[in-house]
Chain A
Amino acid sequence: MFQSLSDRLSGVLDKLTRRGSLTDSDVSEAMREVRRALLEADVALEVVRDFTEKVKAKAIGQNVVKSVTPGQMVVKIVHDELVAMLGAEAQPIDLAAQPPVAILMVGLQGSGKTTTTAKIAHRLTTRDKKKVLMASLDTRRPAAQEQLRVLGEQTSIDTLPIVAGQTPQQIAKRALEAARLAAYDVVLLDTAGRIHIDEALMRETVDVRDIAQPHETLLVADSLTGQDAVKLATSFNERVGITGIVLTRVDGDGRGGAALSMRAVTGKPIKLIGVGEKWDALEDFHPQRIAGRILGMGDVVSLVEKAAQTVDIEKAQAIAEKMRKGAFDLEDLADQLKQMEKIGGMSGMLGMLPGIGKIKKQLDGANLDDKILKRQRAIISSMTPKERRSPKILDGKRKRRIASGSGTKPEDVNKLLKMHRQMADMMKTMGKRGGLMQRMMGGGAAPSQADMERMQAELGRLDPKALEALPKDLKEHLPKGLPGLGGGMPKLPGLPGLGGGAPRFPGLPGLPGKKK
């Protein structure tokens, strides 16, 4: 699944990343192709529309800042939107309820409910050591109840004895009672396939739901589903109220767009995917991984992702330049604090930089505790623009006003001002002393392969866009097999604000933050 979509998308986006600069029409053109790739992958039109509009809006907004490789920003935006569409976290089946926990399986005819029911039961039994009962409420399809019974036999999982002539509602009641009496942990209710516009059958499902009070109601849907995915998922969700989706036939060569559509329109997580006819061919759904796979930029995506915080290199360079000149004001500090918060605080950021131990200590001394970043930002935001630009004018009266405005004490304001002075001084000195890169390169000697790999790994956690900024000789020494080093170089992440004409600033507080 997703393979051909990923081929298409990476083709489109590859073209973008190779471009030096992007115009609005470049972005629009790319989005047309993205749209097409998504549609060919069966993502529902309304979802595609929404998707490309969001990406376009963000991409064009980004474009205002001339960045080194804008194409990569677009890749990042596309990726982020994919993740947003798929949901960020894997969400397994939730059994945190009073046993017997009822799980209701619903879906269209032929979507794979019965097989999936048995697979889930098998997993809960073998992996989670649960005592599971299965019951078929499918009184419609010939031999459907028999099918589940046989599956129960094959997997050694108990099934509710079949009583001819009972309605689904009666079977549901009986299943719950049986599960209670025999102290089952979980009772899985397989239902007849139904078309979502079949009012009578949908009502029946609602009845069953009300009787069973399921903790999970899973919509089982074929990953090969086309544009109808939206309607079917919406109907089941609105009518019955689903808690998650199970995608089947993911081992087929479908492009899996239905997954995106159903998640997007219902907001319900895809919990599991069926990847084969065997009992254990059931996997958790990892949206992040899938988004990466869809984008087809494998490692680049994870690099981009790591560096998702670091986009606005122009701005970083401008700030670095300011610092070097000693013009680092409180406004800039507030910006930096905000960005630091996003990337896991000061220590998180420093951890990404090679050879920075000493500075780190200095900054630790400056009391830059991650937890107080927020407070410091609050202080700055209580200042007037004028005060931010020239902290010198801050007298006792102003400091008291700021403290009360930000819910802090005047001492806190003083501490912040002191820190700002220290940082500005430090940056100024470091800017003069020579860039980090020079020191790392040990005076021009070519680094070993191992050095390069280590460095690459470190760089990977930083900004993906500043390859152009790397010294020429370094570029030439980069190992060829590194992720993201396909044909074009621009995929290689680099340190922001380094080399070239950029100020030789180690990228400390100037490390660009995620652009909103």
Chain B
Amino acid sequence: MSDKPEKRGGFFGAFRRAAMPAAPAPDPGESPAAAAVQAPEAAAATVAEPAGDKKQGWFQRLKAGLTKTSARLSQDIAGIFTKRKLDADTLEELEDLLIQADLGVDTAMRITAALAKGRHDKEITPEEVRAVLASEVERALAPVARPLRIEGDHRPHVVLVVGVNGTGKTTTIGKIAHQLRREGKTVLLAAGDTFRAAAIDQLKIWGERTGAEVVARAVGADSAGLAFDALTLARDKRCDVLLIDTAGRLQNKQALMDELEKVLRVLRKVDPSAPHQVLLVLDATTGQNALNQVEVFKDKAGVTGLVMTKLDGTARGGILVAISAKFGLPVHAIGVGEGIEDLSAFDAREFARAIALG
């Protein structure tokens, strides 16, 4: 695993390929598109991630979080594989390691099976196994690693943010707003969580932090009405981006999911093409239920992409592997802390290496 704390390119505009792990951090002014390996379309507006941050890089913090547990895991793996054949027992132990990263039984079995192919009963070193495991996981994730792009010429570009309670929707909106603002975009935030106490105040503080205007109604107001207000205002003001916060909801609460559909309907009344993006925020500590969250929110709210938060802890969010296999939804970014800078591009390779122990 690379040791270098890096921030490269915009997390929306580009993501760092771990293929060049030792690449120096780019200048703050560097065009995100230029740093992109999977070159984004030229027309795509992108949000740059700041470089030269005085805080630790996300990667280093992610790693710091992960190494604590992966140290043990490394030993396990080394213990498993030193001078050993890749037999059924070994594969089972490997499978267990993946299960512990929340990949789920099926996915863990699928990956170990892929790993076993052609290697059965062959001697294999711990390093090899590690590399193969990581590349198998990476292979599953690479197609979904797609930075969020503010594409097309919708004005405003409407992004609806949804998810279960406490996953990090409001915080993520704040972080995204920060990135967009840094790019010089005008951003309007809609305080669509009219339910939770002080949720509006929370978003307002993010508005202050990022220099984004916040549209709010009173607590308990109709969130669809608020969305209507916000979109109308954003259009009148010709804002670049409208980020709409919503109240957290469990996906099995029919009434609350219906409410979300209503928000969508109302938005479309103002702009038939809206929302241009619907982001589902997933918490990395969530286990297998995340799969169901994606399924239901995709169905009800037309989710177009994912953000996974709280990867600065010990949870590794391996459920993303199952999610991407099943739904193929882009994973745009990851949250790695509570601070304004703590949002990074989702990098399939780094993520995979973190799972397969970096």
Q: Which residues of A contact B (CB under 8 A)?
A: 36, 39-42, 44-45, 108-112, 140-144, 146-151, 154, 195-197, 222, 224-229, 231-232, 249, 251-255, 257-258, 277
Say yes or no: is B266 at the interface (Cβ < 8 Å to chain A): no
- Measured between alpha carbons, how far is A112 from B202 in the docked complex, in Å? 16
On whether the beta carbons of B313 and A224 are closer than 8 Å, the reply is no
CB neighbours (8 Å) of B283 from chain A are 110, 222
Q: Give the contact stretch, choosing among B18-26, B117-125, B160-168.
A: B160-168
Say yes or no: is B99 at the interface (Cβ < 8 Å to chain A): yes
- Measured between alpha carbons, how far is A72 from B170 in the docked complex, in Å? 50
On whether the beta carbons of B310 and A109 are closer than 8 Å, the reply is yes
On whether the beta carbons of B310 and A195 are closer than 8 Å, the reply is yes
Taking A39-B99, A226-B315 as contacts, is the C-beta distance between A255 and B202 under 8 angstroms? Answer: no
CB neighbours (8 Å) of B101 from chain A are 227
Closest chain A residue, CB of each to CB of B283: A110
Distance between B314 CB and nearest chain A CB, rounded to angstroms = 5
Taking A108-B313, A225-B287, A227-B102 as contacts, is the C-beta distance between A142 and B292 under 8 angstroms? Answer: no
On whether the beta carbons of A39 and B105 are closer than 8 Å, the reply is yes
CB neighbours (8 Å) of B165 from chain A are 110, 112, 249
Distance between A257 CB and nearest chain B CB, rounded to angstroms = 7
Contact with A along B204-244 (1 / 0, CB 8 A): 11100000000000010000000000000000000000000
CB neighbours (8 Å) of A232 from chain B are 285, 313-314
On whether the beta carbons of B202 and A141 are closer than 8 Å, the reply is yes
Can you spell out 7 A-B residue pairs with CB atoms less than 8 angstroms apart?
A41-B288, A45-B99, A112-B165, A151-B197, A227-B102, A228-B314, A251-B250
Distance between B209 CB and nearest chain A CB, rounded to angstroms = 8
On whether the beta carbons of A110 and B102 are closer than 8 Å, the reply is no
- Measured between alpha carbons, how far is A229 from B196 in the docked complex, in Å? 26
On whether the beta carbons of A197 and B287 are closer than 8 Å, the reply is no
CB neighbours (8 Å) of B253 from chain A are 251
Distance between A51 CB and nearest chain B CB, rounded to angstroms = 14
CB neighbours (8 Å) of A222 from chain B are 166, 283, 285-286
CB neighbours (8 Å) of B219 from chain A are 150
Taking A143-B201, A228-B313 as contacts, is the C-beta distance between A253 and B287 under 8 angstroms? Answer: no
On whether the beta carbons of B292 and A225 are closer than 8 Å, the reply is no
- Measured between alpha carbons, how far is A218 from B346 in the docked complex, in Å? 34
On whether the beta carbons of A42 and B197 are closer than 8 Å, the reply is no
Say yes or no: is B302 at the interface (Cβ < 8 Å to chain A): no
On whether the beta carbons of A143 and B166 are closer than 8 Å, the reply is no
The A contact surface, by secondary structure, is loop
Distance between A437 CB and nearest chain B CB, rounded to angstroms = 47
On whether the beta carbons of A225 and B286 are closer than 8 Å, the reply is yes
- Measured between alpha carbons, how far is A224 from B166 in the docked complex, in Å? 12
CB neighbours (8 Å) of A109 from chain B are 166, 168, 310, 338
Contacting B206 at CB < 8 Å: which of A142, A195, A196, A228?
Answer: A142
CB neighbours (8 Å) of A226 from chain B are 102, 285-288, 290, 315, 319
- Measured between alpha carbons, how far is A40 from B287 in the docked complex, in Å? 9
CB neighbours (8 Å) of B251 from chain A are 252-253
On whether the beta carbons of B315 and A228 are closer than 8 Å, the reply is yes
Contacting B285 at CB < 8 Å: which of A140, A142, A225, A277?
Answer: A225
Say yes or no: is B198 at the interface (Cβ < 8 Å to chain A): yes
Taking A109-B166, A142-B201, A258-B287 as contacts, is the C-beta distance between A227 and B100 under 8 angstroms? Answer: yes
CB neighbours (8 Å) of A151 from chain B are 197
Taking A142-B202, A147-B197, A154-B197 as contacts, is the C-beta distance between A108 and B105 under 8 angstroms? Answer: no
CB neighbours (8 Å) of B68 from chain A are 197
Distance between A236 CB and nearest chain B CB, rounded to angstroms = 12
CB neighbours (8 Å) of A144 from chain B are 198, 202
- List B165-210 residues whose CB lies under 8 Å from chain A: 165-168, 195-199, 201-202, 204-206
Say yes or no: is B252 at the interface (Cβ < 8 Å to chain A): yes
On whether the beta carbons of B313 and A253 are closer than 8 Å, the reply is no
On whether the beta carbons of A252 and B288 are closer than 8 Å, the reply is no
Distance between B318 CB and nearest chain A CB, rounded to angstroms = 8
Closest chain B residue, CB of each to CB of A150: B197
- Measured between alpha carbons, how far is A457 from B164 in the docked complex, in Å? 45
Contacting B338 at CB < 8 Å: which of A44, A140, A252, A254?
Answer: A140
- Measured between alpha carbons, how far is A45 from B288 in the docked complex, in Å? 13
Taking A39-B105, A150-B197, A249-B250 as contacts, is the C-beta distance between A108 and B310 under 8 angstroms? Answer: yes
Distance between B255 CB and nearest chain A CB, rounded to angstroms = 11
- Measured between alpha carbons, how far is A249 from B102 in the docked complex, in Å? 19
Say yes or no: is B259 at the interface (Cβ < 8 Å to chain A): no
Distance between B148 CB and nearest chain A CB, rounded to angstroms = 21
Distance between A73 CB and nearest chain B CB, rounded to angstroms = 27
- Measured between alpha carbons, how far is A258 from B166 in the docked complex, in Å? 17
On whether the beta carbons of B289 and A42 are closer than 8 Å, the reply is yes
On whether the beta carbons of A42 and B166 are closer than 8 Å, the reply is no
Say yes or no: is B96 at the interface (Cβ < 8 Å to chain A): yes
Contacts A36-B105, A142-B202 known; 10 new A-B pairs at CB < 8 A: A109-B338, A112-B165, A143-B199, A222-B166, A225-B285, A226-B102, A228-B284, A228-B313, A229-B287, A258-B287
CB neighbours (8 Å) of A154 from chain B are 197
On whether the beta carbons of A253 and B289 are closer than 8 Å, the reply is yes
Say yes or no: is B104 at the interface (Cβ < 8 Å to chain A): yes
On whether the beta carbons of B315 and A146 are closer than 8 Å, the reply is no
Closest chain A residue, CB of each to CB of B248: A110
Say yes or no: is B312 at the interface (Cβ < 8 Å to chain A): yes
Taking A108-B313, A109-B166 as contacts, is the C-beta distance between A40 and B252 under 8 angstroms? Answer: no
On whether the beta carbons of A224 and B289 are closer than 8 Å, the reply is yes
- Measured between alpha carbons, how far is A455 from B332 in the docked complex, in Å? 64
- Measured between alpha carbons, how far is A498 from B217 in the docked complex, in Å? 74
Distance between A169 CB and nearest chain B CB, rounded to angstroms = 20
